[in-house]
Chain A
Amino acid sequence: MPDSLSAQSPPLKSPRVALFVTCLVDLHRPSVGFAALRLLEAAGCRVEVPRAQTCCGQPAYNSGDRATARDLARRILDALAGYDYVVAPSGSCAGMLRHHLPHLFDDDPNTRAKADAFAARVHELVSFLVDVRGVTHVEARYEGNVTYHDSCSGLREMGVKAQARTLLASVDGLTLKEMNEPETCCGFGGTFSVKYPEISVRMASDKTRDAASSGADTLLAGDLGCLLNIAGRAAREGRDIRVRHVAEVLAGMTEELPPIGAPTRVAKPGEGRK
């Protein structure tokens, strides 16, 4: 569902944007958060990072723990109140805040109204840049053949599809190679990945196979969960494919930062990864 709301209202000159970092980016790959900052600022936003944020609550929500999800949701509503937009470098966290969070308050009309107003301001990073800020190209360079995996929530809940490709097409040196079934789930699914590891790994293997046979040397996506899964599987299979968050490439950050799961220093002789 692409965002009709934002398309209708005239773009603000320099909106106040809260960056919702997401717990995975905070913990695992902070550079994605900095890439988001860079991109948002380049798009004319005044970006702040509210300190009281932690996690969007999906681990609880998707485990059936509605009470905890609700409790976290209330805190999010407080922590991220008063901004023109809330932007997350993750389709799944943005989807949680946009589409699921309000329903946690179906039985509480006051909070529900507040949550609806909040949800309408939540965006996924890439689609925000293109659909709301009208960005059509970025200043970045990346030498490589890139394939883009459409992460499920980004695609089906936030309508991210063409926007990522539009911006990637503007990156110098980059060639886009579509893989077979780019819209098929990579098998991450949050706790699914450890509750049903064999199924999850099978799905990840299908994804790395499709990525490899596209002729790409790099796989990008907009959700760190998927990327950890795909990179982890590719590493185990010994596949020669670099895995990165799409924001790293769009922000021109790839020189500063090795791909996900890649060594950060040169191995000493005889100290192979395996």
Chain B
Amino acid sequence: MNVDSPDFKRRAKRALDNASLQTALTATRGAFAARRAAAVAALPEFEALRDAAKAIKDHTLAHLDFYLETYAANVERAGGHVHWCSTADEAREAVLAICRGVDARTVTKGKSMISEEIALNDYLEANGVQPVETDLGEYILQLRHEAPSHIIAPAIHLNRDDWETAFRKAHTDRPADRRFAERRDIMVEAREELREKFLAADVGITGANFLIAETGSSVIVTNEGNGDLTQTLPKVHIVLASIEKVVPTLEDTTSLLRVLARSATGQDFSVYTTFSTGPRQEGDLDGPIDYHVILLDNGRSAMVGSEFQDMLRCIRCSACMNHCPVFFAVGGHSYGWVYPGPMGSVLTPALVGIERAGNLPNASTFCGKCESVCPVKIPLPNLMRHWREREFERHLAPPVVRANLALWAWFARHPAAYRLATRAASRAMALAARGRGAFRRLPFAGGWTGGRDFPAPEGETFFARYAREQRRKR
């Protein structure tokens, strides 16, 4: 997928001015948070579960090579194949080769962010294989030729009328005067459209929420059941997963599942939680003949052992973005790549390079809400700050910013000079305000006064007044 993150500021501005996007964001804002809060309140051991989830992931990351090898061996033992891919290119090629191997014309797809990361749909289409998204949100995005704007609610940026418009335009053999009175009508129509596609597909591609080392299984959670049809009906099932999805045991998986759905949608459990282990075995009534796992690195192994390793604990629950005021101001597309919100602001620079994604870790107030809800306790603000440090070390921050910072730092190191400078500044500003209390405009502070007044200072610094009062007391 193209990296549009350097354009973050412009995209964010456009998003703030986009009335229909703002309507969609306002409609969902708060709902995720309220549902999570209710689910957490109903489970007294939730905090302890967070610690357990974090510990499982930390342990796995400390022995990542071991668990990946164990996982791969168990997949092969169950009759599946593992394709180790270090880049997006390799992953795409591996998928295409499997499709070509069975002369696939269409492939159905469950929701997968790795598929977005490697821009799989465009690649398959360009090579004569038609991908069909079967997750409802992904389905409409495919109709609209759009990328997801959220990792679990991909079409969160759309309103009901966007759905209607897209469906009327795409499903032209249906009566033009049909009505979409409720959300259900949209679902029913999508389901009917997808039914034949499920049956016709030669290959089914899904993502994975977890890969279980001890059994060689992959796990997906969905609320629509589309993932199950995608992986059981076609001859071939391809699992797309990145390396940090591996967990040691089934037991660990259940611990993580307990925090995943609650953090994501506030459900105790997702509607469908599906485990798949290898291809159809003798005696099985259904399931694929061939089972492949594309195991993607794409920059992640370089995070192991670095200050960004904590990010690899992420289980993609989306709680961080669901609680992020910046995300709900500008929407997911502003972030310019696959992963939006706080987790994207840390992960994107690691995967595409800080020179292209520098805006993302900077566009945070460090309010800390994301960290407070993350089920695996990733210190997201700290990690964003580490990216700012990398930027600073490499002189990627704008020269004006550096110069201002250097000037301020000099004064901050010299208290006497600092006292004089602040005293003069405070007095000058108070005089300039002439008793009006606030400035409508300030030289060099257009950023501030574009949408806000700047309150005038009292006029005498604390230290000046304090010294004066101390003298008087003596």
Residues of A within 8 A of B (CB): 21, 23, 25-31, 33-34, 49, 51-55, 57, 59-66, 68, 71-72, 75, 152-153, 156-157, 181, 183-185, 187-204, 206, 228-229, 231-233, 235-236, 257-258, 260-265, 267, 273-274
Contacts and interface: CB of A to CB of B under 8 A. Distances in A.
Contact of A263 (B397, B437, B457, B465): B437
Nearest to A26: B462
A78 to B, nearest CB: 11
Contact of B405 (A27, A28, A63): A63
Contact of A261 (B385, B413, B455): B455
In the A-B complex, list the 9 residue pairs whose CB atoms are closest, starting with the nearest: A189-B365, A64-B388, A64-B392, A201-B451, A232-B452, A261-B455, A194-B447, A185-B367, A30-B462
A202 B411 contact: no
Contacts of B447: 193-195, 197
A189 B435 CA distance: 28
23 contacts: A26-B422, A30-B462, A30-B465, A34-B465, A51-B463, A52-B415, A55-B412, A62-B388, A64-B393, A66-B392, A72-B409, A72-B412, A181-B30, A192-B366, A194-B447, A194-B448, A195-B363, A196-B12, A199-B330, A201-B450, A203-B326, A232-B438, A261-B437
B329 A28 contact: no
A83 B99 CA distance: 71
B465 to A, nearest CB: 5
A102 to B, nearest CB: 13
A258 B454 CA distance: 15
Nearest to B447: A194
Contacts of A228: 454-455
Interface in B350-394: 362-369, 371-372, 385, 387-393
Contact of B368 (A25, A156, A191, A206): A156
B77 to A, nearest CB: 44
Contacts of A57: 412
A54 B456 CA distance: 20
Contacts of A29: 457-458
B325 A197 contact: no
Contacts of B464: 30
Contacts of A202: 16, 329
A156 B436 contact: no
Contacts of B369: 152, 156, 183-185
B42 interface: no
Nearest to A266: B435
A198 B418 CA distance: 31
A61 B385 contact: yes
Interface in B325-347: 325-326, 329-330
A72 B461 CA distance: 21
Interface of B: 9, 12-13, 16, 30, 325-326, 329-330, 362-369, 371-372, 385, 387-393, 397, 401, 405, 408-409, 411-413, 415, 418, 422, 425-426, 435-438, 440, 445, 447-448, 450-458, 460-466
Nearest to B444: A194
Contact of B426 (A27, A51, A235): A27
A23 B450 CA distance: 24
Given A54-B418, A198-B451, 4 more contacts: A54-B411, A152-B368, A261-B456, A273-B437
Given A60-B405, A228-B455, A197 B450 contact: yes
A33 B464 CA distance: 12
Nearest to B392: A64
A71 B401 CA distance: 19
A21 to B, nearest CB: 5
Contacts of B437: 235, 258, 261-264, 273
B412 to A, nearest CB: 5
Nearest to B371: A156
Given A30-B458, A228-B454, A152 B16 contact: no
A260 B437 CA distance: 8
A64 B397 contact: yes
Given A232-B453, A273-B437, A199 B405 contact: no
Contact of B16 (A55, A64, A72, A198): A198
A73 to B, nearest CB: 11
Nearest to B361: A64
Given A30-B461, A59-B405, A60-B409, A192 B365 contact: yes
A236 B435 contact: no
A62 B452 CA distance: 23
Nearest to B365: A189
Nearest to B396: A64
Contacts of B385: 61-62, 64
Contacts of B409: 60, 65, 68, 71-72
Contacts of A183: 369
Contacts of A189: 364-367
Contact of B413 (A71, A152, A187, A265): A71
B54 to A, nearest CB: 16
